[in-house]
Amino acid sequence: GLSAESYRRQHEITVSGDNVPAPFTSFESSGFPAEILREAQNAGFSAPTPIQAQSWPIALQSRDIVAIAKTGSGKTLGYLIPGFIHLKRRRNNSQQGPTVLILSPTRELATQIQDEAVKFSRSSRISCTCLYGGAPKPPQLRELDRGADIVVATPGRLNDILEMRRISLRQVSYLVLDEADRMLDMGFEPQIRTIVKEIPAQRQTLMYTATWPKEVRKIAADLLVNPVQVNIGNID
Ligand code: ADP
Ligand code: MG
Protein backbone atom coordinates (compact mmCIF):
# COMPACT_ATOMS: atom_id res chain seq x y z
CA GLY A 1 0.00 0.00 0.00
CA LEU A 2 0.77 3.67 -0.11
CA SER A 3 3.09 4.96 2.61
CA ALA A 4 1.73 7.43 5.14
CA GLU A 5 3.99 10.15 3.75
CA SER A 6 2.96 9.73 0.13
CA TYR A 7 -0.75 9.55 1.03
CA ARG A 8 -0.38 12.78 3.03
CA ARG A 9 1.50 14.50 0.23
CA GLN A 10 -1.06 13.42 -2.35
CA HIS A 11 -3.97 14.72 -0.25
CA GLU A 12 -2.30 17.88 1.09
CA ILE A 13 -2.39 16.64 4.68
CA THR A 14 0.04 18.12 7.16
CA VAL A 15 0.27 16.89 10.72
CA SER A 16 2.07 18.00 13.83
CA GLY A 17 2.39 16.05 17.04
CA ASP A 18 4.31 13.10 18.48
CA ASN A 19 4.09 9.72 16.75
CA VAL A 20 1.15 10.59 14.54
CA PRO A 21 -0.39 7.32 13.33
CA ALA A 22 -0.62 6.50 9.63
CA PRO A 23 -3.87 7.48 7.91
CA PHE A 24 -6.56 4.88 7.19
CA THR A 25 -6.41 4.97 3.41
CA SER A 26 -9.45 2.70 3.01
CA PHE A 27 -12.54 1.71 4.98
CA GLU A 28 -11.34 -1.91 5.01
CA SER A 29 -8.14 -0.95 6.82
CA SER A 30 -10.01 1.03 9.50
CA GLY A 31 -11.03 -1.96 11.59
CA PHE A 32 -14.38 -0.23 12.23
CA PRO A 33 -17.28 -2.44 13.38
CA ALA A 34 -19.17 -4.17 10.54
CA GLU A 35 -22.36 -2.14 11.10
CA ILE A 36 -20.47 1.10 10.50
CA LEU A 37 -18.74 -0.22 7.38
CA ARG A 38 -22.16 -1.30 6.12
CA GLU A 39 -23.56 2.23 6.55
CA ALA A 40 -20.59 3.71 4.69
CA GLN A 41 -21.25 1.26 1.88
CA ASN A 42 -25.00 2.07 1.92
CA ALA A 43 -24.14 5.75 1.63
CA GLY A 44 -22.02 4.97 -1.44
CA PHE A 45 -18.75 6.11 0.10
CA SER A 46 -15.81 4.44 -1.63
CA ALA A 47 -12.96 5.79 0.50
CA PRO A 48 -12.41 7.99 3.55
CA THR A 49 -11.94 11.68 2.84
CA PRO A 50 -8.45 12.97 3.76
CA ILE A 51 -9.59 14.51 7.06
CA GLN A 52 -11.30 11.23 7.99
CA ALA A 53 -8.33 9.11 6.92
CA GLN A 54 -5.94 11.07 9.11
CA SER A 55 -8.13 11.99 12.08
CA TRP A 56 -9.71 8.56 12.66
CA PRO A 57 -6.56 6.74 13.82
CA ILE A 58 -5.61 9.70 16.03
CA ALA A 59 -9.07 9.92 17.61
CA LEU A 60 -9.10 6.14 18.20
CA GLN A 61 -5.94 6.58 20.29
CA SER A 62 -8.06 8.83 22.56
CA ARG A 63 -5.90 11.83 21.76
CA ASP A 64 -7.03 15.43 21.43
CA ILE A 65 -7.19 16.79 17.88
CA VAL A 66 -7.32 20.16 16.20
CA ALA A 67 -8.44 19.65 12.62
CA ILE A 68 -8.34 22.51 10.16
CA ALA A 69 -10.23 21.76 6.98
CA LYS A 70 -12.68 23.58 4.79
CA THR A 71 -16.41 22.95 4.51
CA GLY A 72 -17.48 19.81 2.69
CA SER A 73 -14.44 17.77 3.64
CA GLY A 74 -16.34 15.15 5.67
CA LYS A 75 -15.53 16.37 9.16
CA THR A 76 -18.81 15.16 10.68
CA LEU A 77 -18.05 11.45 10.31
CA GLY A 78 -14.46 12.31 11.16
CA TYR A 79 -15.55 12.80 14.77
CA LEU A 80 -18.80 10.80 14.85
CA ILE A 81 -17.40 7.34 14.12
CA PRO A 82 -14.65 7.52 16.79
CA GLY A 83 -17.40 8.90 19.08
CA PHE A 84 -19.50 5.76 18.49
CA ILE A 85 -16.50 3.56 19.29
CA HIS A 86 -15.77 5.62 22.41
CA LEU A 87 -19.38 5.04 23.52
CA LYS A 88 -19.10 1.28 23.05
CA ARG A 89 -16.05 1.26 25.33
CA ARG A 90 -17.75 3.33 28.06
CA ARG A 91 -21.22 1.81 28.35
CA ASN A 92 -22.45 4.62 30.59
CA ASN A 93 -26.06 4.97 31.68
CA SER A 94 -27.56 7.54 29.31
CA GLN A 95 -30.17 8.47 31.95
CA GLN A 96 -27.35 10.12 33.88
CA GLY A 97 -26.37 12.33 30.97
CA PRO A 98 -24.55 12.14 27.66
CA THR A 99 -21.09 10.62 27.16
CA VAL A 100 -20.52 12.39 23.84
CA LEU A 101 -21.21 16.12 23.50
CA ILE A 102 -21.00 17.94 20.18
CA LEU A 103 -21.23 21.74 20.10
CA SER A 104 -22.27 23.32 16.83
CA PRO A 105 -22.92 26.99 15.97
CA THR A 106 -26.42 26.83 14.45
CA ARG A 107 -29.68 24.94 14.60
CA GLU A 108 -29.32 23.94 10.95
CA LEU A 109 -25.83 22.50 11.39
CA ALA A 110 -26.75 20.79 14.66
CA THR A 111 -29.71 19.13 12.95
CA GLN A 112 -27.51 17.92 10.10
CA ILE A 113 -25.06 16.39 12.58
CA GLN A 114 -27.94 14.75 14.43
CA ASP A 115 -29.26 13.28 11.16
CA GLU A 116 -25.86 11.86 10.25
CA ALA A 117 -25.41 10.46 13.78
CA VAL A 118 -28.82 8.75 13.70
CA LYS A 119 -28.17 7.31 10.24
CA PHE A 120 -24.74 5.88 11.04
CA SER A 121 -25.68 4.54 14.48
CA ARG A 122 -29.06 3.03 13.67
CA SER A 123 -27.91 -0.55 14.17
CA SER A 124 -25.82 0.29 17.25
CA ARG A 125 -28.51 1.17 19.83
CA ILE A 126 -27.05 4.61 20.42
CA SER A 127 -29.43 7.42 21.38
CA CYS A 128 -28.89 10.95 20.20
CA THR A 129 -30.68 14.20 21.10
CA CYS A 130 -30.40 17.62 19.52
CA LEU A 131 -30.77 20.87 21.51
CA TYR A 132 -31.04 24.23 19.74
CA GLY A 133 -32.60 27.64 20.16
CA GLY A 134 -35.52 29.13 18.28
CA ALA A 135 -37.75 26.22 19.26
CA PRO A 136 -39.71 25.42 22.44
CA LYS A 137 -37.75 23.77 25.23
CA PRO A 138 -40.28 21.22 26.58
CA PRO A 139 -40.03 18.71 23.69
CA GLN A 140 -36.23 18.87 23.84
CA LEU A 141 -36.29 18.39 27.62
CA ARG A 142 -38.66 15.43 27.30
CA GLU A 143 -36.36 13.80 24.78
CA LEU A 144 -33.38 14.45 27.03
CA ASP A 145 -35.20 12.83 29.96
CA ARG A 146 -35.54 9.62 27.96
CA GLY A 147 -31.73 9.42 27.96
CA ALA A 148 -29.17 10.39 25.32
CA ASP A 149 -25.72 8.90 24.75
CA ILE A 150 -24.93 11.73 22.35
CA VAL A 151 -26.10 15.33 22.66
CA VAL A 152 -25.64 17.69 19.72
CA ALA A 153 -26.24 21.26 20.87
CA THR A 154 -25.87 24.92 20.12
CA PRO A 155 -24.02 26.64 23.00
CA GLY A 156 -26.84 29.07 23.84
CA ARG A 157 -29.57 26.47 24.27
CA LEU A 158 -27.34 24.03 26.12
CA ASN A 159 -26.32 26.81 28.49
CA ASP A 160 -30.00 27.58 29.20
CA ILE A 161 -30.73 23.92 29.93
CA LEU A 162 -27.66 23.72 32.18
CA GLU A 163 -28.87 26.74 34.14
CA MET A 164 -32.23 25.00 34.59
CA ARG A 165 -30.25 22.01 35.92
CA ARG A 166 -32.01 19.70 33.47
CA ILE A 167 -28.80 18.12 32.15
CA SER A 168 -25.63 16.82 33.75
CA LEU A 169 -22.36 16.90 31.83
CA ARG A 170 -20.44 14.96 34.51
CA GLN A 171 -20.38 11.88 32.30
CA VAL A 172 -19.10 13.59 29.16
CA SER A 173 -15.74 12.17 28.14
CA TYR A 174 -15.76 12.94 24.41
CA LEU A 175 -16.24 16.60 23.54
CA VAL A 176 -16.39 17.99 20.01
CA LEU A 177 -16.24 21.68 19.14
CA ASP A 178 -17.43 21.75 15.54
CA GLU A 179 -16.95 24.89 13.46
CA ALA A 180 -15.09 26.45 16.38
CA ASP A 181 -14.18 29.56 14.39
CA ARG A 182 -17.83 30.21 13.59
CA MET A 183 -18.96 29.65 17.17
CA LEU A 184 -16.44 32.28 18.30
CA ASP A 185 -17.50 34.69 15.52
CA MET A 186 -21.08 34.34 16.75
CA GLY A 187 -20.03 35.35 20.27
CA PHE A 188 -20.45 31.93 21.92
CA GLU A 189 -17.13 31.91 23.73
CA PRO A 190 -18.59 32.66 27.23
CA GLN A 191 -21.23 29.91 26.84
CA ILE A 192 -18.61 27.45 25.60
CA ARG A 193 -16.40 28.16 28.58
CA THR A 194 -19.32 27.79 31.02
CA ILE A 195 -20.27 24.47 29.43
CA VAL A 196 -16.72 23.12 29.49
CA LYS A 197 -16.45 23.93 33.22
CA GLU A 198 -19.22 21.35 33.80
CA ILE A 199 -17.28 18.62 31.97
CA PRO A 200 -14.60 16.61 33.79
CA ALA A 201 -11.04 17.49 32.76
CA GLN A 202 -10.43 13.80 32.11
CA ARG A 203 -11.86 13.75 28.60
CA GLN A 204 -10.97 13.66 24.93
CA THR A 205 -11.51 16.95 23.10
CA LEU A 206 -11.70 17.37 19.33
CA MET A 207 -11.84 20.77 17.68
CA TYR A 208 -12.80 21.29 14.05
CA THR A 209 -12.37 24.63 12.34
CA ALA A 210 -12.14 26.02 8.82
CA THR A 211 -9.74 28.81 9.80
CA TRP A 212 -6.98 29.18 12.39
CA PRO A 213 -6.93 32.77 13.70
CA LYS A 214 -5.52 33.68 17.09
CA GLU A 215 -8.86 33.52 18.97
CA VAL A 216 -9.28 29.91 17.86
CA ARG A 217 -5.66 29.11 18.80
CA LYS A 218 -6.29 30.61 22.21
CA ILE A 219 -9.37 28.53 23.01
CA ALA A 220 -7.64 25.43 21.64
CA ALA A 221 -4.70 26.09 23.96
CA ASP A 222 -7.10 26.45 26.90
CA LEU A 223 -9.37 23.47 26.26
CA LEU A 224 -7.21 20.83 24.58
CA VAL A 225 -4.30 18.84 25.99
CA ASN A 226 -1.30 18.21 23.76
CA PRO A 227 -3.45 17.99 20.61
CA VAL A 228 -2.35 16.52 17.33
CA GLN A 229 -2.92 19.10 14.64
CA VAL A 230 -4.17 18.03 11.23
CA ASN A 231 -4.37 20.49 8.33
CA ILE A 232 -5.96 19.74 5.00
CA GLY A 233 -5.03 21.95 2.04
CA ASN A 234 -2.96 25.07 2.07
CA ILE A 235 -3.82 26.61 5.40
CA ASP A 236 -1.05 28.34 7.36
P1 ADP B 1 -17.88 19.24 6.62
O2 ADP B 1 -18.39 19.09 8.02
O3 ADP B 1 -16.40 19.09 6.52
O4 ADP B 1 -18.37 20.49 5.95
P5 ADP B 1 -19.62 17.03 6.07
O6 ADP B 1 -19.24 16.14 7.17
O7 ADP B 1 -20.89 17.78 6.20
O8 ADP B 1 -18.45 18.05 5.74
O9 ADP B 1 -19.62 16.14 4.73
C10 ADP B 1 -19.92 16.71 3.47
C11 ADP B 1 -20.64 15.66 2.60
O12 ADP B 1 -19.76 14.59 2.28
C13 ADP B 1 -21.83 15.03 3.30
O14 ADP B 1 -22.88 14.92 2.36
C15 ADP B 1 -21.33 13.66 3.69
O16 ADP B 1 -22.37 12.70 3.77
C17 ADP B 1 -20.35 13.34 2.57
N18 ADP B 1 -19.28 12.40 2.96
C19 ADP B 1 -18.76 12.21 4.20
N20 ADP B 1 -17.80 11.27 4.17
C21 ADP B 1 -17.69 10.85 2.91
C22 ADP B 1 -16.86 9.88 2.23
N23 ADP B 1 -15.94 9.18 2.89
N24 ADP B 1 -17.02 9.71 0.90
C25 ADP B 1 -17.96 10.43 0.22
N26 ADP B 1 -18.77 11.37 0.79
C27 ADP B 1 -18.65 11.58 2.10
MG1 MG C 1 -19.36 20.34 9.34
Closest CA to 40 of 55, 28, 50: 28
Q: Counting atoms of ligand 1 from 1, which one is nearest the CA of 48?
A: 23
Asked whether the ipTM of the predicted complex exceeds the cut of 0.90, the reply is: yes
Does the pLDDT of residue 145 top 60, yes or no? yes
Question: Where does residue 146 rank: exposed (0-12), middle (13-18), buried (19+ CB within 10 A)?
Answer: exposed
Q: Rg for the chain (alpha carbons), in Å?
A: 17
Q: What are 61-93's pLDDT values in tens digits?
A: 999 999 999 999 999 999 999 999 999 999 889
Ligand 1 near 75 CB (within 6 A): yes
Distance CA 184, CA 180 (A): 6
Ligand 1 near 156 CB (within 6 A): no
Q: Which of 27, 54, 65, 76 to mutate to test the pocket of ligand 1 (most atoms within 8 A of CB)?
A: 76
| Segment (H or E) for 36 | helix 34-42
Which residue ranges make up each domain of the chain?
Answer: 4-232
- The CATH number fitting domain 4-232, selected from 3.40.50.300, 3.40.50.1820, 3.30.70.20, 2.60.40.740: 3.40.50.300
For residue 27, give Cα distances in angstroms to 18, 59, 73, 127, 148.
24, 15, 16, 24, 28
Q: What are 17-28's pLDDT values in tens digits?
A: 999 999 999 999
